[in-house]
Structure 1
């Protein structure tokens, strides 16, 4: 566990990027450009760290700091190396459950999902470095501390992680409305990874082409979709029920 903190000032942020410190995002003043901005944005791009150009007013809360309108926010948790943690888990367990989040962008939804994942015995959570909610104090709070009890991996591309899973004999099950197959009818293997998608768009078509099975939950009311954290919880508990029968 790492303490959440901010890093401010051009030189400090540049050094943090060069040392590959776990940075969630960087904010820069959109109305200003200086000699450091190009170096920071280039380093951030190489490490797939999100950079946001914001109005000067966003820096007022940090006016007691000599930030030069350059602030980086670090992650409160240390991310696990994907291949290392997966191989370690597979070497110790015959029955495994992984969770892949393909584009969940709301920090509170992410925190709720992490909490449920820990309660259902998920062995590791996989997030993409881009197009994913950041891990901040709201994520930690919503997870009720579960975020410190389960390995979380960030990968460059979800597709590569899915290929790695398949080559390791892990069944890939995607939650999507683009199917007639209910989760209750789906055969679940001892080694399985559940893939959940974006709150609005769902799982990308490219990802859906990779998975072994597509499943959905029945929606009997007039609302067309569930909150992603609620849907994820229902899916995980059904998978656990099937695996423990």
Structure 2
């Protein structure tokens, strides 16, 4: 974590949140209790700021300063709203004739996987990436490095709930396709040559079952080896490039 992209100290983080800074994630010391910490928790929940509890040793590694039990990371990018992202892509499609392609990451948690996916998304012409505020990988130095700078070229949107974003996309005429092994359909069976949003799940449990219930289509990749799953960034690349192939 780059030092210029972090804030340490409870009061400083509260002020940053109240000033609407792009706080990406806050690391909170386990078992830390004080009135000021309670104020921080209220501010984070009120503004839907992503946070996690960590041992004090992690905070000590993040900064040699007096962190008071809290260290925050500031995102190196500005996030866009869902409405701005979708409406902008649809308007651009009318002018260019290119069908919008969105990517939804359902609580992907690894920053390097996130960066690799962003890099592939940029190369395949994805109009924007949608992530959930809580439980998603941070946009930090690892993300920027692994994306090879692509994070500055692909709009990223944070939403409170993935399901609400899916409903909004569906209402805007965008087909939603979830990558999951819990289906008989292969990605090659689907029509991706239309406005579409591809949904990739977390590294450990895939796409949330509640999300699978509301998507338009489900698809998987054919597997011929003894290992039953691919790294999520590799699987995402396969899905995105099938969309590219169909659109060429």
Bin the TM-score by the shorter chain. over 0.9
Determine the structure 1 residue equivalent to 2:85: 85
Following the alignment from structure 2 to structure 1, what is the Cα–Cα distance between the partners of residues 234 and 23?
A: 28
After superposing on structure 2, the runs of 4+ consecutive aligned residues of structure 1 that deviate more than 6 Å are none
Displacement of 1:26 after TM fit? 1.8
Following the alignment from structure 2 to structure 1, what is the Cα–Cα distance between the partners of residues 190 and 73?
A: 41
Describe the shift of the 1:234–1:53 C-alpha distance in structure 2 as closer, same or farther (beyond 3 A). Answer: closer
Displacement of 1:180 after TM fit? 1.0
Describe the shift of the 1:150–1:214 C-alpha distance in structure 2 as closer, same or farther (beyond 3 A). Answer: same
Q: Secondary structure in 2 aligned to 1:26?
A: strand
Determine the structure 1 residue equivalent to 2:205: 201
Determine the structure 2 residue equivalent to 1:67: 67
Matches within 5 A, 1:38-49: 38-49=38-49
- The TM-score, its normalising length taken from structure 2, stands at 0.91
Q: What root-mean-square deviation, in Å, do the aligned CA atoms of Structure 1 and Structure 2 show?
A: 1.7
Judge conservation of contact 1:4–1:75 (CA < 8 Å) in 2. Answer: no
Judge conservation of contact 1:180–1:216 (CA < 8 Å) in 2. Answer: yes
Unpaired stretches in structure 2, ≥5 consecutive residues: none
- The TM-score, its normalising length taken from structure 1, stands at 0.93
- Picking from 138, 144, 147, the partner of 2:148 is 144
Determine the structure 2 residue equivalent to 1:235: 239
Matches within 5 A, 1:161-200: 161-200=165-204
Describe the shift of the 1:196–1:63 C-alpha distance in structure 2 as closer, same or farther (beyond 3 A). Answer: closer
In the alignment, does 2:118 pair up with 1:114? yes
Q: 50-59 or 193-202: which moved more? A: 50-59
Unpaired stretches in structure 1, ≥5 consecutive residues: none
- Picking from 84, 87, 102, the partner of 1:98 is 102
Matches within 5 A, 1:50-61: 50-61=50-61
Displacement of 1:64 after TM fit? 4.8
Displacement of 1:146 after TM fit? 0.4
Following the alignment from structure 1 to structure 2, what is the Cα–Cα distance between the partners of residues 18 and 240?
A: 42
For residues 116-161 of structure 1, what are the alpha-carbon distances to aligned partners after superposition, in whole Å with 9 as ceiling and x for unaligned? 0000000000001112111110011100000001100000011111
Displacement of 1:187 after TM fit? 1.7
Determine the structure 1 residue equivalent to 2:219: 215
Displacement of 1:66 after TM fit? 4.0
Judge conservation of contact 1:4–1:136 (CA < 8 Å) in 2. Answer: no
Following the alignment from structure 2 to structure 1, what is the Cα–Cα distance between the partners of residues 211 and 158?
A: 17
Describe the shift of the 1:55–1:203 C-alpha distance in structure 2 as closer, same or farther (beyond 3 A). Answer: closer
Q: Secondary structure in 1 aligned to 2:131?
A: strand
Judge conservation of contact 1:181–1:214 (CA < 8 Å) in 2. Answer: yes
